Amino acid sequence: MTGIGNGVPRVEGRAKVTGAALYTFDLQPSEIGATQPILHGAAVLSTIACGRILALDTAAAEHSTGVRLVLTHRNMPPQAEWGPLNANVRFARAQPVFGDEQVRYFGEPVAFVVAESFECARAAAASIQVQYEADQAHTVLDSEHGIDPAPLHGGQSSDSSVGDFHGTFATARHRIDVQYETPYQNHAAIELQASIAAWDGDHLTVHTPAQITSAARTGLARTLNLPEDRVRVVARLIGGGFGGKLPYFADAVLCAVAARQLRQPVKFSFTRQQMFTATTHRSAVSHRVRIGVTTEGRITAISHDAVSQTASFDNYVDGSTAGAKGLYGAKAIRTTQRIARLDLPRSDSMRSPGDANGSMALECAIDEAAHACGQDPVAFRILNDTRVNPTTGRPYSSRHLVACLQEGARRFGWEERRSGRKGEWLIGQGVASAMRDNLVRPSAAQVTLTPAGQLVVRLDMTDPGTGTITILTQIAAETLGLPMEKVTVMLGDTDFPKTSGSGGSFGAESSGSAVYEACLALRRRLDDMTKGRDASPETVLRLVGEAGGVTAEGKIAPGDETKRYSEASFGAQFAEVAVNVHTGETRVPRMLGVFACGRIINERTARSQALGGMIWGLSSALIEANNVDHRGQMAMRDLANYHVPVLADIQNIDAVLLPETEPVANPLGMKGIGEVGINGAAAAIANAVFDATGIRIRRFPITLDRLLPGLPPLA
């Protein structure tokens, strides 16, 4: 049994837990087909937030032991200009490195050393002296000064408006008008951002953990003014993506340039400390949420105004308003998205970008609204459910939010819940809804049945640790009636058919559908070959052998259905917290998430996605944040200071996946599952903290210093 729906363990699981799995930085010359040793790079980062490089003293580094090359803005070969800002695929833009003497943020790469060993490279990098002329830097996100990003994107606005919000809100019986602040967060995946570049004549191969290899290829080709067909990007395994590896970074460009000049492969990884500025982060967002409710508890008006940070030269919008647009059936809804272009590193995608923080603001405000009208927060959400996306007017193709809330309430024991004091702990419970828009992106796959009877599946999809290799193996095995051992899935290579890549929860269904279609195409070809003969497996194999193997391709693209339906995954998050009455420390004894995400291909990997999202939600609610210091530097730059949850923070946690089949989005009946798990999880915890303490903290994370002033006096 191939077991779609079952908890099949990861195909590459054993290799990963035994350390046999090779990630980009692990690769040795033989593994990248090189005959020469690989050189090592090290980077120097800027120490001002805005200004110019006046002088760069690289003499000591150039004469340092083992050093082969020092790259700075003075000797970089010509590169394309940054952008364009309105590119179709943001991750395929040109990203020149050391383009000029400008410094655009604190911790921007300004010099790169290549040496025979890692130690030599690092020592030499440390000897480089840089002098700057600093300009006044703007690094504080304030909600007043956001600009409309539409012109930067080429016109299309991310704002929305249906009905008369102002009029409806003004006359509502209960009005909630609140400001929530969500903080900067940094990527903390185990695998650092790293590349290895090698040239074969005019052909460049870059090994880099890019979630979308095709975008990295286009971007690198543009940056380096190369034809795309001379660039290959390979990402066989990715040690955690979370959106932080959707872009490609300076490591890839620098390795490519250095390897070309030195005619030898070059590898480089940012250090953990450098990751905090030289890659992308989740923007801090300032949210104003307004909700108008009738006496009976019907939501009539919702508005969500969000202001997020973007780099001074970028236009990324952390779109936080999808929940306001689609979760509840209000007749008047308006949303705005503004960005503040600051002298800070680039913000970009981080798991459930926009919705992760948007749901923190919206779902806490919904809790406030439920309290204002005296409704139970579960009942209030059920009462305000909608079948139709109120902003687009399109019906949801499948939506089981109410079922998630009801099943969650039943399993959690919502009706029997007890808040109040237990010893030195204040106990409370909270709930929140979760939603993440569903997307299918154009994807193709190729399958080959070899004469030996092995099915080889090729596509440029990547597996950032989520289980993609495994579910694609299952889909191919099931579609062709093969045992899983007979299927080999090869991913992460721009030599293979182009897919969506992984990200935005679209990866599994897009690439899964492409594999499914390719398998169907292969079956048709085999049927044609066996037409009129007996079709026993032996005959098929003999014919395949005679043909030297049979190959077929399949693809999927979003069709008309997206114009007729709204598509999203839904869920309900429940949490119980215990707040220490003396110190304000918050623990989370119980978390439960119930999700409806279409057909589940692999219960085990899907559940891991949901749990991982919920744990990140806990982190966002209580623990995780970075802040910008007075110089524009990200204050926390290692994992001792930048806190994410440890095992001891997680107690009783469970995720339940309701049976559901998505009828229109794709032939497999799947929906996205990688992101919905984080949405609402933080809000459920924040709402539970309110239930426990009566304190509403509107600035995340809810650290104990924020609760302390409101706790009861010492007895």
Partner 1 sequence: MKDFAFSTAHSVDDAAHAAASGARPIAGGTNLLDLMKLQIETPNRLVSVRRLPRLDRVTVTDEGGVRIGAEVTNAALAAHPLIRQRYPLLSRAILAGASAQIRNMATTGGNLLQRTRCVQFYDMTDACNKRQPGSGCGARMGGNRMNAIIGGSEACIAVNPSDMSVALRVLDATVHVQDATGRVRAIPVASFHLLPGETPERETALQPGEIITEISLPPPPMGVHHYRKVRDRTSYAFALISVGAVADIREGRIVSARFAFGGIAPRPWRVEAAEAAMANRPAEVATIEHACDIALEGAKGYGDNDFKILLARRTLVATLLT
Query: Which residues sit at the interface with partner 1, rule CB under 8 A?
Result: 47, 119, 122-123, 126, 273, 424, 580, 582-585, 587, 622-623, 627, 629-631, 633, 635-638, 640-641, 643, 645-649, 703-705, 708-709, 711, 714-715
Tokens of 223: 């940056």
Q: Cβ closer to partner 1: 106 or 565?
A: 106
Task: Please check whether residue 437 is in contact with residue 699, taking contact to mean a CB–CB distance below 8 angstroms.
Answer: no
Residue 683 CB partners (closer than 8 Å, separation 6+): 359, 360, 362, 363, 364, 367, 430, 432, 573, 621
State the burial class of residue 413 (Cβ atoms within 10 Å of its Cβ: 0-12, 13-18, 19+): middle
Phi-psi domain of 57 (left: phi exceeds 0; alpha: psi -120 through 50; beta: other): beta
Residue 184 vs residues 1, 94, 211, 308, 459: alpha-carbon distances, Å: 46, 25, 22, 10, 34
Q: Cβ closer to partner 1: 386 or 580?
A: 580
Residue 585 CB partners (closer than 8 Å, separation 6+): 579, 704
Detail the DSSP E strand segments found in 512-585.
550-556, 568-580
CA distance 224 to 204: 11
The per-residue DSSP string of 65-123 comes to TTEEEEE-TTTPPP-PPSB-TT-SSGGGSB--SS-SSEE-STT-EEEEEEESSHHHHHH
Residue 351 vs residues 90, 204, 609: alpha-carbon distances, Å: 16, 31, 11
Residue 270 CB, nearest distance to partner 1 (Å)?
14
State the burial class of residue 562 (Cβ atoms within 10 Å of its Cβ: 0-12, 13-18, 19+): middle
- Phi/psi at 572 (nearest 5 deg)? -130, 135
Task: Please check whether residue 220 is in contact with residue 256, taking contact to mean a CB–CB distance below 8 angstroms.
Answer: yes
* Residue 229 DSSP one-character state: G
| Residue keyed to tokens 């049927």 | 527
Residue 622 CB, nearest distance to partner 1 (Å)?
8
Q: Cβ closer to partner 1: 657 or 707?
A: 707
Q: Cβ closer to partner 1: 67 or 299?
A: 67
Residue 577 CB, nearest distance to partner 1 (Å)?
13
Q: Cβ closer to partner 1: 611 or 650?
A: 650
Tokens of 196: 């290895």
Residue 8 CB, nearest distance to partner 1 (Å)?
32
Residue 224 CB, nearest distance to partner 1 (Å)?
30
CA distance 193 to 435: 30
Residue 304 CB, nearest distance to partner 1 (Å)?
29
Residue 692 CB partners (closer than 8 Å, separation 6+): 419, 426, 427, 428, 577, 578, 579
Alpha helices in 226-271 (DSSP H): 250-262
Q: Cβ closer to partner 1: 444 or 625?
A: 625
Residue 405 CB, nearest distance to partner 1 (Å)?
29
Alpha helices in 281-346 (DSSP H): 322-326
Q: Which H or E element spans position 510?
A: helix 507-530
The number of residues making up the chain comes to: 715
What's the angle, vertex CA 606, arms to CA 605 and CA 608, rounded to 5?
65
Q: Cβ closer to partner 1: 1 or 647?
A: 647
Residue 616 CB, nearest distance to partner 1 (Å)?
14
Q: Cβ closer to partner 1: 487 or 711?
A: 711
State the burial class of residue 416 (Cβ atoms within 10 Å of its Cβ: 0-12, 13-18, 19+): exposed
Residue 640 CB, nearest distance to partner 1 (Å)?
7
Which residues does the annotation mark as catalytic? 675
CA distance 616 to 591: 12
Q: Cβ closer to partner 1: 47 or 392?
A: 47
Residue 123 CB, nearest distance to partner 1 (Å)?
7
Q: Cβ closer to partner 1: 123 or 204?
A: 123
